[in-house]
Amino acid sequence: MSLLKEPDFGTPERPGEATVSVEVDGLAVTVPHGTSVLRAAALAGVDVPKLCATDSLEAFGSCRLCVVEIDGRKGTPASCTTPVAEGMRVRTQTPKVEKLRRGVMELYLSDHPLDCLTCPANGDCELQDMAGVVGLRQVRYGYEGENHLDAEKDRSNPYFDFDPSKCIVCSRCVRACGEVQGTFALTIEGRGFDSKVSPGSGELFQDSDCVSCGACVQACPTSTLQERSVVDLGMPTRSVVTTCAYCGVGCSFKAELRGDELVRMVPYKDGGANEGHSCVKGRFAFGYATHPDRLLKPMVREKTTDPWREVEWDEAIATVATKLRDIQQRHGPGSIGAISSSRCTNEEVYVLQKMVRAAFGNNNVDTCARVCHSPTGYGLKQTFGESAGTQDFRSVAQADVIMVIGANPTDAHPVFASRMKRRLREGAGLVVIDPRRIDLVRSPHVEAAHHLQLKPSTNVAVINALAHVVVTEGLADKSFVAARCEGFEEWAEFVARPDNSPEATERITGVPATELRAAARLYAQAPNGAIYYGLGVTEHSQGSTMVMGMANLAMACGNVGREGVGVNPMRGQNNVQGSCDMGSFPHEFTGYRHVADDAVRTVFENLWGRELLPEPGLRIPNMFDAALDGDFRGLFVQGEDIAQSDPNLNHVTAALASMELVVVQDLFLNETAKYAHVLLPGASFLEKDGTFTNAERRVNRVRAVMPPKTGKHEWQIICDIATAMGYPMTYDHPSQIMAEIAQVTPTFQGVSYELLDKLGSVQWPCNTEAPEGTPTMHVDGFTRGKGRFVVTAYIPTDERTTARFPLILTTGRILSQYNVGAQTRRTGNVAWHAEDLLEVHPHDAEVRGINDGDTVRLTSRVGETTLRASVSDRMPPGVVHTTFHHPVTGANVVTTEISDWATNCPEYKVTAVQVGPVGNTRGSTSTEAVENDDLLAVRD
């Protein structure tokens, strides 16, 4: 799929039916009310010259190049700012407008370097194109007067250059930063001839508020803002549409190449999740895929103390298969298992769980979602009947009140955050429930109506208090509840109890009762109220309870089943939704159907030709316990660094060390590899062919930009191992795997590569009832029939502060880095976040003698590490916060083994700690488990 230049209609599309008929250069066209003349002309097949106009931004009308004549009107109006009218007759190529356009172009070029042949944007410059379109052959004005040709170039950003000598001050970059990204980092400084684009008060781009999303670079019509990769490699000549492999937003990109070399990633305008926008990671941080640290050859060793030996694929696969079979013969069928990866495609994850169930002969398969969003699957299944979010991302544009709970969208899901901020600027109300003052609480043109700064671990008490207000003040949507829900009376009686009131819970949560009551009323009384949440909800001992609590609140207020509402998990990794959909949990087949269901199991048995077990297999923590007991002896790890992803690392590493065979499949040598006997090199997303499923249930195609550098696709490796173990698994192409997934999974029944290529993407369920997918779930009824209210009692965590550990540590992400940083640390993103810092409130810092920048020791009951302190009032007194992207700090060394009661999701967000100064040297861990370059918790 190749599309280097996408069509640009000049101004955004207007909603509604096409009812206004106009004539452009004699061509009839009918468009929606409010459409610009410029867009109508483009739709009629008439290209009107333009420079300041582009269809991702509202019309600005500054360049005067798109002027036209309209019968019955005086002058030459700008077609970008002129709306159509019924019966309008437009002429775009009269002698008058042609003369005006040439004059305008002469003025632009009189203050622009005439270096087209050596300019990196040669062939991709709109100014160059428009000069040709208007027929300009010479410029009458010389360079004798004042000009901007000697303006100094800004090369501070690691990914793009800013050359003001080539700027035509069209304001597209400034408008993109505001309208699309919502950061407002750029401005036009000065007036008239002195006008210039500025990233701040005389600042360089790198020192400004710019978040390097690339919107300004993409909007620039000249080479003023230019990717450094284009300067170095040349202009791309072809493109492949694929899907980003970072967070759960699932942005579509055009991977643009010159020959077989990737030049740049450009956000795809028709991408269902991102619609032409991007963040710094997806746009620029792809260099890890070709980094010299990549593992490219299989390696084996007999003992973990032996050196690695490179082997060919045949030997590596035979070694894995032979040793797994030998372990089973000596220790039983259940003595081996596998862990799937949320960074792999649906097809790769599907064949892995198939290998476990059909070739291994057990259900010992689990996924990294165990340590991030497993409470989402459990909680939404219990209440709504489906283990996924309810809306598409576009839905937020219809929300009147947005409640963000335990999520930091601007850092963790920035492209969706831009959508959300756009709606907030339009007037939607915002409630933030988070111990930390995230950027959404207050940023340019956005301010939360309420920030409920609760104490960590008290989520359930807060959600019950919100529900208490809804029920006791008569704010529930009784008609919705009566028609579509069950269990309301019992739940309402529970939340109405005095001990769930905001006044009673204030001493537990720290949230003022008046503030909580106001937030509850705002959400409940909104025509459309939407909830978005993240790991600050799920990574708690009551994670599943909290998910059910949010579902209860949404149902009570009737906020399910239409646009602008719903309960929406912000999934962390690119395919964490898909890895769960594909049957990666030990108790479920694809589509979240229990292995004990005879009818479901028969479907798989008939297709796979194997008798399958009805008993659930081992979860990841169970595998570790069984390994230490001597019953679990072999583990296949697909793309996860479990020696850093789970709590109580001493327990994890002891379990790995006790196994006879650990197989690791990954891009880089990671910490788990210390305990591995076989290393199988993985493929980057640029080498994959398949699908990812994002947080909104959107199934996106992933297309290979280059062949796998290892010589094998990851799905082929799994199939080869299963075949070598005696269970033949053969596919010629991943599309055949998707066809099998559709055959056995009702929610994927209609999904095929042909459909995805036709529509771009679909959101499951996609079947005969919804042949083009389901953007909004539970429209006419819940998946389970009626929505189920569940009583959600607040139970305090066992992790308590003490005199020895008086502070609470919570963790989160930062925009420029991703999870353990294995990918982003191998890119220019290190320029923004070179180390993890510990945020400490000024009061807590003062009483401990800690100054900003000091190196401090962070200690919990299970471990300790050191890192530099950042004195900040983002956290309330008594709470400290850090990220977990850099191995030198090893934040997960201190987290405990306490986990969610239903799913064993670890309580990463609540760890009792102490902090104290240790000097002014750079932070480093004191635990051996964090020596390797790729350490830290891999979390969703």
Q: Among 252-266, 597-611, 883-897, where is mean pLDDT lowest?
A: 883-897
Q: Which two tokens stand for residue 345?
A: 């495609």
Return the pLDDT at 438: 95
Confidence of residue 572 (pLDDT cuts 50, 70, 90): confident
Per-residue pLDDT averaged across 291-304, rounded? 95
Of 84, 91, 93, nearest in space to 22 by CA = 84
- Contacts of 604 by beta carbon, 8 Å cutoff, 6+ apart: 357, 589, 612, 744
| Segment holding 384, helix H or strand E | none
Per-residue pLDDT averaged across 813-834, rounded? 88
Per-residue pLDDT averaged across 462-478, rounded? 98
Confidence of residue 133 (pLDDT cuts 50, 70, 90): confident
- β-pairing, 196-198 with 187-189? antiparallel
Q: Which two tokens stand for residue 277?
A: 């926008």
Per-residue pLDDT averaged across 702-710, rounded? 94
Return the pLDDT at 190: 87
Per-residue pLDDT averaged across 360-368, rounded? 95
Return the pLDDT at 114: 81
114 or 603, which is more confident: 603
Strands (E) in 219-298, as ranges, are 225-227, 238-243, 252-258, 261-267
Return the pLDDT at 933: 34
- β-pairing, 336-340 with 309-310? unpaired
- Contacts of 16 by beta carbon, 8 Å cutoff, 6+ apart: 32, 33, 34
Q: Which two tokens stand for residue 240?
A: 């492949």
pLDDT of 160 over the 70 cut:
yes
Per-residue pLDDT averaged across 696-708, rounded? 95
Return the pLDDT at 200: 81
Q: Which two tokens stand for residue 465?
A: 């208090």
- β-pairing, 225-227 with 365-367? unpaired
Return the pLDDT at 595: 96
- Are 46 and 57 in contact by the 8 Å Cβ rule? The answer is no
- Are 842 and 848 in contact by the 8 Å Cβ rule? The answer is no
Return the pLDDT at 143: 64
Radius of gyration over alpha carbons of the chain, in Å?
Answer: 29
- Are 102 and 110 in contact by the 8 Å Cβ rule? The answer is no
- Residue 826: strand, helix, or coil: helix
Of 231, 228, 242, nearest in space to 706 by CA = 242
Return the pLDDT at 552: 98
Per-residue pLDDT averaged across 173-195, rounded? 92
Per-residue pLDDT averaged across 340-361, rounded? 96
Strand partners, 527: none
- Residue 368: strand, helix, or coil: helix
890 or 900, which is more confident: 900
Q: Which two tokens stand for residue 495?
A: 């939340």
The span from the CA of 749 to the CA of 590, in Å, is: 12
Return the pLDDT at 919: 64
Side-chain-facing half-sphere of 595: CA atoms under 13 Å: 22
Q: Which two tokens stand for residue 243?
A: 């899907």
Instruction: Report how far apart, in Å, the C-alpha atoms of 127 and of each of 51, 103, 147, 190, 231 are.
Output: 7, 14, 17, 23, 18
Return the pLDDT at 302: 95
pLDDT in tens, 778-802: 999 999 999 999 999 999 999 999 9
Of 196, 218, 170, nearest in space to 52 by CA = 170
The span from the CA of 335 to the CA of 318, in Å, is: 19
Q: Which two tokens stand for residue 770?
A: 């919804």
The span from the CA of 22 to the CA of 79, in Å, is: 13
Of 659, 690, 693, 688, nearest in space to 676 by CA = 659
pLDDT of 110 over the 90 cut:
no
Return the pLDDT at 884: 82
Confidence of residue 194 (pLDDT cuts 50, 70, 90): confident
pLDDT of 820 over the 90 cut:
no
529 or 4, which is more confident: 529
Of 847, 680, 697, nearest in space to 773 by CA = 697
Amino acid, single-letter form, for residue 156: S
Q: Which two tokens stand for residue 222?
A: 């000249």
Per-residue pLDDT averaged across 444-470, rounded? 97
**What burial class does residue 754 get, using C-beta atoms within 10 Å of its C-beta: 0-12 exposed, 13-18 middle, 19+ buried?**
exposed
> What are the two backbone dihedrals, phi and then psi, of residue 147, each rounded to the nearest 5 degrees?
-155, 180
Return the pLDDT at 111: 81
Confidence of residue 444 (pLDDT cuts 50, 70, 90): confident
- Which pTM was predicted? 0.93
The span from the CA of 315 to the CA of 472, in Å, is: 68
Per-residue pLDDT averaged across 702-713, rounded? 95
pLDDT in tens, 200-229: 877 899 999 999 999 999 999 999 999 999
pLDDT of 925 over the 70 cut:
no
The span from the CA of 460 to the CA of 792, in Å, is: 7
The span from the CA of 741 to the CA of 288, in Å, is: 31
Per-residue pLDDT averaged across 648-671, rounded? 91
151 or 548, which is more confident: 548
The span from the CA of 261 to the CA of 184, in Å, is: 34
- β-pairing, 529-533 with 401-405? parallel
The span from the CA of 66 to the CA of 71, in Å, is: 16
The span from the CA of 282 to the CA of 294, in Å, is: 19
- Are 51 and 127 in contact by the 8 Å Cβ rule? The answer is yes
The span from the CA of 641 to the CA of 664, in Å, is: 9
- Residue 14: strand, helix, or coil: coil
The span from the CA of 775 to the CA of 772, in Å, is: 9
The span from the CA of 246 to the CA of 253, in Å, is: 12
Return the pLDDT at 637: 96
Of 703, 647, 681, nearest in space to 908 by CA = 647
- Residue 463: strand, helix, or coil: helix
The per-residue pLDDT of the chain, averaged, comes to: 92
Percentage of the chain with pLDDT > 70?
97
DSSP of 754-801: HHHHHHSEEES--SSSSTT--SSSSSSSBTTBSEE---------S---
The span from the CA of 929 to the CA of 940, in Å, is: 21
The span from the CA of 898 to the CA of 907, in Å, is: 6
Per-residue pLDDT averaged across 603-627, rounded? 96
pLDDT of 935 over the 50 cut:
no
pLDDT of 922 over the 60 cut:
no
pLDDT of 192 over the 80 cut:
yes
Q: Which two tokens stand for residue 216?
A: 């300004």
The span from the CA of 51 to the CA of 129, in Å, is: 10
- β-pairing, 911-919 with 807-812? antiparallel
- Are 897 and 851 in contact by the 8 Å Cβ rule? The answer is no
The span from the CA of 846 to the CA of 851, in Å, is: 8
Instruction: Report how far apart, in Å, the C-alpha atoms of 273 and of each of 253, 344, 671, 690 are.
Output: 11, 19, 33, 17
pLDDT of 939 over the 60 cut:
no
Return the pLDDT at 932: 34
- What phi-psi label fits residue 704: left (phi over 0), alpha (psi between -120 and 50 degrees) or beta? beta
